[in-house]
A and B are shown apart, each in its own frame.
Chain A
Amino acid sequence: MLELINISKFYPGVKALQQVSLCVIPGAIHAICGENGAGKSTLMNIIAGNVQPDEGSIRWQGEHIFITSARAAQDLGIGIVHQERSLAENLSIAENVFVEKAPRQRWGWIDRRALNQQTQQLLAELGLLQLSPQQLVSSLSPAQKQLIEIAKALAVAPKLLILDEPSSSLGEQETQLLFGLLQQLKLRGTAILYISHRMAEIFQIADQITVLKDGQSQGSYPAANLDHEKLIQLMVGRKLAQESFASFASKEVCLKIEQLRGVGFSDISFELYRGEILGLAGLIGAGRSELARALFGDQPIQTGTIELAGKAVQFKHPFDAIAAGLAYVPEERKNLGLFLDKSMLENIQSVFLHKQFWLNLEVPRIAEHYREKLRIKTPSLAQQVGLLSGGNQQKIVLAKWLATKPQVLIVDEPTQGIDIGAKVEIYQLLKQLSQEGIGILLISSELPELLLLADRIAVMQQGQIAGILPKEQASEAKIMQLATGQQIQSQ
């Protein structure tokens, strides 16, 4: 269906793509893997018509073509689900989904009834039966927004569907739903290009896998001919030691929560020990982030008590939580964690501003210390963080919070959308911090990550803790059973 032949793209000083060839056939799912900066986005942008290649040619259904604009790509029948959200928050779901091709009546008026009906149908396919087409997009959860984004691409009935990290904000259940849908599309003869960091997913759905590294193709393989280890080796060019980590949990309680209740969660009780990593698993919308933000004083707590190192505390604002020794690395780092237009130095400084009147002159030294300790790759402390890679950005958010010398560190989806190399470094860092005696509450939707790092895993379901599993007893299957509300069968 689509054939890319020896595509190259150069930016001043960088070869973004070199001689990459790719062949997409109808009725198959083709996965593209590679670390950040490997050239995946450039390749997508070329197919989407946003960027023109410097060398090479493109064939579409056997004919040589030039995709000169995003519009041209759409007219060919190429649908794209971008990583960045492209929804208008203040419009309804239906208006967003059919923004390009709303059904018309005579005189060109929009046919509201048909619009709502067709939207309803798409929502049903995506398992979003509880949503109404007239609902505003701003009222949806991140996962639902991601699914609407997919509905938008499907609305034009594409011949080729490109998905760029579609599952990064989806929970396990939504992801499985999406996969079912992709399988259906595949059977209908749609060609699918699927870009993802998540290995397990790729092996679950891909028929063909193309690996990119430093702008060069490492070859296309049928999925059956690859396994995890081989794929990682192709992506990073080295073997990755997936060692299991030792536990540094002590007997000393550093955070104790009893009967906590707030918006989105209730009846939460647990203890976190010094040096322990407590995993928090659950589906999207289970209330994990809500709990984290309430613990940090960002959201109100209705009832219940929090004890920090044996002392009862109450936080009205993150200001109080920081003073008490809590740190919170939020999800959506670009939106909540970073000041993208500011330098690394200023980002570290941001957490020192709330108490003293004059600027803390130690901050440059502190920033330099963490830049070395966390191996943050930036040309200088003055570099704008918006220009750094996702992995380095995440390390800067971590550095900022480590600089406050916290007793308890809450990390929410710390490896979302970052490449494997940086992921492993963050794993090692979290373990090292637990060894230093910090209690860590790790929220993650990636089960392998939780199983690798956590000493115990608490599973949340519909705002409550469904169970806490010690490391030895935890498995993906057990966590999913708790998360989806099924009883664990005793064997």
Chain B
Amino acid sequence: MKISAIPWAHYLGDRVITLGSTIVVLGIILSLVYPQQFATWDNFSQILLNLSIDTIVAVGMMILMIGGMFDLSVGSIVAFSGGLAAYLMYYHAVPVQVAVLAGLGGALLIGWINGYLIARAGINPMIQTLAMMGIVRGFALMLSGAGLQNFPWEYLILGQSKLLGIAMPIWYMLGIVLLFHVLVERSSFFRRYYFIGGNEKAARLSGIQVERMKIWAFVLSALLAGIAGILLSSRLGAALSTSGRGLELRVITAVILGGASLSGGQGRVMGAFLGALFMALINNALIIGRVSGYWQEVILGIILIAAVVLDQMLLHKVKTKHQTL
């Protein structure tokens, strides 16, 4: 059989299409079942606001995973960057702009250390970022202790103001997703990650500076986590040392739902956004349906496994059809 006989076949392999349509269908069902609670402006903005922090981190994680890497320290970086900015403002009355830049700079440094040790010293990403996750969490605890509050209003407007009736973190999220979507689809700089994830040795022999690219990916991921940390502490009006606990696994789940694979070479930035959106919708539905919070994690776990299994079955089918050309 010819592949052209099943023109939709390659769409099955594109998670942005499959997940996107699942989200649309899920949205329609929820609007029909809970017209009063689900399909409201307030509920939608709440969903988007809640997923904005995760999504900003997920964009960086998606780029890492396309390149066959991942970063477990992002959750700690979220707490660290917010904590560092808060610490400087609270104890040293540093101007807001300087505090924000320091928070982002700290995140950047952590990302560079991760990337340098992984790419140049050859430490396994799992071990390096697991260790960094603990180290950075420790620093976050030292900085913010039981929590810091009373920020200047210039800091609070970063996460609490609205533009056209939509909260700022949502704007930041949309901007970051769109920017990186275009960059990853159109620039050869970001395209390189697909080749590094696909076959690192062949990528090197094709002239791609693999080590340098890996460092950039960790720096970018940490920087986005830093932005997320600043936004989160501003939105909450407090820097908590427990911020972003468990965020790394939630984000990796979203990214895998969005089409990345642990072996690398696959995924799209839009998928990271859709993965996070899908998880947020499920959560929202469970809350509206008054399902116990304990069940949410169980259900998300089951969905993740189901998505991966379904994907392999579909891919396998498409592949066997290819082979009989």
- In the complex, whether B291 has a CB less than 8 A from a CB of chain A is no
**A317-B205 in contact (CB<8A):** no
**B205-A354 in contact (CB<8A):** no
- In the complex, whether B87 has a CB less than 8 A from a CB of chain A is no
**B323-A317 in contact (CB<8A):** no
Once bound together, how far apart are the Cα atoms of A352 and B188, in whole Å?
8
Which of A53-61, A189-197, A340-348 lies at the binding interface?
A: A340-348
- In the complex, whether B36 has a CB less than 8 A from a CB of chain A is no
Contact of A339 among B1, B195, B325 (CB under 8 A): B195
**B188-A318 in contact (CB<8A):** no
Interface of B is mostly: helix
Known: A353-B192, A359-B186. A13 touches B202 (CB 8 A): no
Known: A342-B194, A346-B194, A379-B2. A360 touches B188 (CB 8 A): yes
- In the complex, whether A384 has a CB less than 8 A from a CB of chain B is yes
- In the complex, whether B165 has a CB less than 8 A from a CB of chain A is no
Residues in chain B near residue A11, CB distance under 8 A:
323-324
Contact of B199 among A298, A338, A354 (CB under 8 A): A338
- In the complex, whether A351 has a CB less than 8 A from a CB of chain B is yes
Q: Which A residues from 296 to 347 make CB contacts under 8 A with B?
A: 296, 298, 317-319, 321-323, 328, 330, 335-342, 346
Once bound together, how far apart are the Cα atoms of A310 and B42, in whole Å?
72
Chain B residue at minimum C-beta to C-beta distance from A350: B206
**A351-B187 in contact (CB<8A):** no
Q: How far in angstroms is the closest Cβ of chain B from A237?
A: 22
Q: Which of A11, A338, A354 has the most CB of B within 10 A?
A: A354
Q: Which B residues from 290 to 325 make CB contacts under 8 A with A?
A: 319, 322-325
- In the complex, whether B3 has a CB less than 8 A from a CB of chain A is yes
Once bound together, how far apart are the Cα atoms of A462 and B202, in whole Å?
27
Once bound together, how far apart are the Cα atoms of A346 and B199, in whole Å?
12
Once bound together, how far apart are the Cα atoms of A317 and B266, in whole Å?
26
Known: A379-B2, A379-B3. A353 touches B201 (CB 8 A): no
Residues in chain B near residue A323, CB distance under 8 A:
207
Residues in chain B near residue A338, CB distance under 8 A:
199, 202
- In the complex, whether B209 has a CB less than 8 A from a CB of chain A is yes
Q: Which B residues from 188 to 208 make CB contacts under 8 A with A?
A: 188-189, 191-192, 194-195, 198-199, 201-208
**B191-A328 in contact (CB<8A):** no
- In the complex, whether A224 has a CB less than 8 A from a CB of chain B is no
**A354-B207 in contact (CB<8A):** yes
Over the window 350-370 of chain A, the binary record of Cβ atoms lying under 8 Å from chain B Cβ atoms (1 yes, 0 no) is 111111111110000000000
Contact of B195 among A296, A350, A382 (CB under 8 A): A350
Residues in chain A near residue B199, CB distance under 8 A:
335, 338-340
- Give 28 pairs: A residue, B residue, CB < 8 Å, sorted on A: A13-B1, A13-B324, A317-B207, A318-B206, A322-B206, A322-B207, A328-B205, A335-B199, A336-B201, A336-B202, A336-B205, A339-B202, A339-B203, A340-B199, A341-B198, A342-B195, A349-B191, A350-B203, A352-B188, A353-B188, A353-B191, A353-B206, A354-B188, A358-B188, A379-B4, A382-B10, A384-B322, A387-B323
Binding site for A on B (CB under 8 A): 1-4, 10, 186-189, 191-192, 194-195, 198-199, 201-209, 265-266, 319, 322-325
List the 10 closest A-B pairs by CB distance, nearest first: A354-B207, A339-B198, A353-B188, A322-B207, A350-B206, A319-B207, A13-B324, A351-B206, A12-B324, A359-B188
Binding site for B on A (CB under 8 A): 11-14, 296, 298, 317-319, 321-323, 328, 330, 335-342, 346, 349-360, 379, 382-384, 387, 400
Contacts A319-B209, A339-B198 known; list 8 others, CB within 8 Å: A337-B205, A340-B199, A341-B266, A353-B192, A354-B206, A357-B187, A357-B189, A387-B325
